[in-house]
Structure 1
């Protein structure tokens, strides 16, 4: 199985059957739709669950701590992708990794759905982190597998796939946000059901639609390597468990120290991976050049997601405490704003997919698309400071300012995120295909690890400075990236 060629894999997948794309896109589209339904439904109410009082059905945590935990949770979710990518590349293959990931995610949501203590909350975090690490990078990697080299449908296919992600993300906060008024745990239960449906779709359609895609183990472990890896894993797990058991009573391992450690790891792990992939004897000189080109794109992605991911932290808090939620006599849930981002993507993603296909070889280069993404992200934070500048901290803001800010960041997301997924499959060294996709998601992990520290600086008093500095920094970086994009393109060695 490990000797399959790219051509053999593509030939095994029916190439017509889903909006002019390979039939396998149907399976991957709906698997990811339901996985994102479960994840974004849970995420839409999680920060409120943490800081709402016990009498309101929450955990009663401090707001600033809840924001930091939310960011570090997101960081760990994406950081775990590096382990999921490694397991897919060396042991499981991407298809099996997707299946096992869905199982872990489902049980994580079930743990949240059980009324209990903060202990169950952390158990659920561990399960969802492991499951998302296995599923998310690998399902995206399989999308790349179903297209031949040079297939002009690839960018469009990733945009359609990305639309499926956001259809799940649009529907679930509306349902779960309404259910949280009755019970947070009922909302989490619906998230668990969503992942179960996604697993059914994947299991019952993959054989017919995906063919050999996802079955390839790119760089399988030898028997000796398997034995060594198992030994290292066992020793590491025992040492880590012992350290945690000793450090918590001693006061060494606290929320603050853990958040700081994860933030540092968010930058150290991708740095190590860039070095390992670049120096590997399995990486060709052309692939080394493409790795160098990937670095500034990775940095730009960190800056973009540092803004975009605050939709579930700072902007969620802004929706709950600074926004007028009474619209035409109806009191809306603050969680509903989590549906605005995916709604705009559902509407705009087909337009962007059509635009890239229409432009063909005349479309902007990958680095210039990234620079546009950063520019829009910066502008979204400049927009959200305007009502605070003309009003005051005690005045509730019209929800349309928040919606406008989200709309602008979505324009950036469509320039950067699906393009980044596609670029990763193009620039990845052959021996590190799934792991490079995991590396792409590590840019999000680094961003949210950074956010875990940044969100502490936000308050109603520092609001203007907070949005202004972060937004301005993104705009400056977008200009720099635009100017150096021809240099980056030369290092990409033929990848446009």
Structure 2
């Protein structure tokens, strides 16, 4: 492997370049995500149910197209060209939001463009980093990337509140502009990295084909955003087709490998549950913070939307310590047991909120410390499920099925996004509920149900963890 030029903290310039790309992309993406449901309700005057459906469709599309971006990066355009193309599309999408002047048609087209661009961008920085380094530096990479999320979630709602939604959207344009500038002027730091397709010129025929695919994807996405009821059915058809293909492949495997693939399928279901819970942050948990959580922490007032920054803040604080702890424990705490612990923490993150609701004041508000605790529990469980789950998939899936299984992961994220929207709608108080106590009771009831269901899943994971570990350790073909 070539030796890159070294920079501050003994990391290569190529490492910092890829980290900066991810940081500013997350700045743009999560800055929009944290205010988008609010924009739908407060500016476009959609009902909460319609806002949650539209938001979940947008997120499902953003994750559903990741497989397309991965395919283009590895097989057609190369990683670096796909990164640049995805960045240009996202920047164009944010520009459309800025220029929309709150006209629904242009907003949908802008969101469609962002979702396709995100799909092209999402996995390619990690693919580049894998080529530059082994995974020992991924904790630092994710920590730096989280700084982009934290900054965006604190800054974007403040700009929307004090100035205008369009100016808040322009922060996304700014973030993607910086990504493009770094890609163009720092490309020489990445000359040694990438796939074989990065080294080959793109023919006119391939360029036209890619343009046609992207145009079709944007038009298709815009249609689904306009007709959200159609999105779940299309995704269900695609998901069922993938499952049938998965099981058809599984039948042809030898018995030991078949058991491993069955475990992988179960893990995908666990990831589905986790991501459904995670997407409550910009939806039900965000509106819970608006209506029922004190906006003051240690005498400092915050916008309720800014509480979403607690998730990446806690990840930055706890992820390095968690990684060090898990490395120290080593074989004493196998990966399946860590997954089970992560699900227990996610369950607890929802169960503490109904407990906190019992201490509400006369206006139906609870202390922000309960929400801080909830986010802490969820964020500590986050890497235990998302990162470790993918490690298990990579270890257990045979090489010929890795691309397909990775695509299944992204479809799982997309399906979870749509499910998360449906779960969030259950927290909407009826029109006759004028009392804040009715709304608080409804939130408490659903958070309790979410916590209990997740706790049952966590118990099943604890029970099955030894079996999963034995299957993982099996060296039989």
> Structure 2-normalised TM-score?
0.83
Query: How far has the Cα of 1:275 moved from its partner?
Result: 4.6
1:376 is displaced (CA, Å) by 0.7
In structure 2, the residue matched to 1:274 is 246
Q: Hey, what's the Cα distance between the residues in 2 that align with 1:38 and 1:322?
A: 28
Which residue pairs with 1:119 in the alignment? Answer: 105
Farther off after superposition, 75-84 or 320-329: 320-329
Query: How many angstroms apart in 2 are the aligned matches of 1:20 and 1:408?
Result: 33
Partners in 1 of 2:185 and 2:245 — Cα distance?
A: 35
CA distance 1:237–1:132, change in 2 (3 Å): closer
Q: Is the 8 A contact 1:262 1:449 kept in 2?
A: no
Which of the numbers 42, 59, 75 marks the counterpart of 1:74? Answer: 59
Indicate the RMSD between aligned Cα atoms, in angstroms: 3.7
Matched, 1:25 2:15: yes
Tell me, yes or no, if structure 1 residue 145 matches structure 2 residue 131: yes
The match for 2:387 is 418
Q: Secondary structure at the match of 2:182?
A: helix
The separation in 2 between residues aligned to 1:140 and 1:260, in whole angstroms, is 29
Q: Which runs of 5+ in 1 are unaligned?
A: 1-10, 53-57, 149-153
Structure 2 residue 166 is the aligned partner of structure 1 residue 185: yes
Question: Which runs of structure 2 are paired with 1:433-448 in the superposition (5 Å)?
Answer: 436-448=405-417
Give 1:258 deviation, angstroms: 2.5
The answer on whether the counterparts of 2:235 and 2:415 sit within 8 Å (CA) in structure 1 is: yes
- Which one is further off, 128-137 or 20-29? 20-29
Q: CA deviation digits over 1:388-419, x for unaligned, max 9? A: 24448951222221111111100100212233
Q: Select which of 90, 93, 101 maps to 1:105.
A: 90
1:200 to 181, 186, 191: 181
Query: 3-state SS of the aligned residue for 2:333?
Result: coil
Within 5 Å, which residues of 2 pair with 1:346-365? 346-359=316-329, 361-362=330-331, 364-365=333-334
Query: Counterparts of 2:325 and 2:79 in 1: how far apart (Å)?
Result: 30
Whether 1:91 aligns to 2:61 is: no
Query: Which of 258, 264, 267 is the aligned partner of 2:236?
Result: 264
CA contact (8 A) 1:367 1:485 kept: yes
Provide the C-alpha distance between the structure 1 equivalents of 2:13 and 2:390, rounded to a whole number of angstroms.
Answer: 19
Partner of 2:276: 306
How much has 1:479 moved relative to structure 2? 2.0
Which residues of structure 2 form unaligned runs of 5+? Answer: 429-438
The answer on whether the counterparts of 1:266 and 1:449 sit within 8 Å (CA) in structure 2 is no
Q: Work out the CA distance in 1 between the residues paired with 2:299 and 2:164.
A: 23
- Per the alignment, residue 156 of structure 2 pairs with 176
* C-alpha deviation, 1:429, in angstroms: 4.6
TM-score by length of 1: 0.80
Q: Please report how far the alpha carbon of residue 64 of structure 1 lies from its aligned counterpart in structure 2 after TM superposition.
A: 1.9
Asked whether the 8 Å contact 1:141–1:425 carries over to 2, the reply is no
Distance in 2, matches of 1:370 and 1:474, equals 13
| Whole-angstrom CA distance in 2 between matches of 1:419 and 1:373 | 10
Q: Choose from 145, 161, 165 the match for 1:165.
A: 145
Shift of 1:45: 1.1
Matched, 1:34 2:17: no
2:432 counterpart residue number: none
SS at match of 1:189: helix
| Compared CA separation, residues 47 and 349, structure 1 to 2 (3 A) | same
Deviations 1:210-257 (A, max 9, x none): 723x32459x9xx9x989x969x77x959x87x96xxx9xxxx97452
**CA distance in structure 2 between the partners assigned to 1:95 and 1:279 by the alignment:** 37
Deviations 1:27-56 (A, max 9, x none): 32221111101101111111111100xxxx
Name which structure has the greater RCO, CA cutoff 8 Å, separation 6+.
Answer: 1
Counterpart Cα distance in 2 of 1:412 and 1:85? 27
- Cα distance in 1 for partners of 2:77, 2:170 equals 29
Rounded Cα–Cα distance in structure 2 between residues aligned with 1:435 and 1:15: 36
Alpha-carbon distance in 2 for matches of 1:373, 1:210: 39
Q: Does 1:386 align with 2:355?
A: yes
Aligned counterpart, 1:4: none
CA distance in 1, matches of 2:249, 2:97: 38
**By how many angstroms is 1:123 displaced?**
1.0
Give the match for residue 49 of structure 1.
39
* SS of 1:312 mapped into structure 2: coil
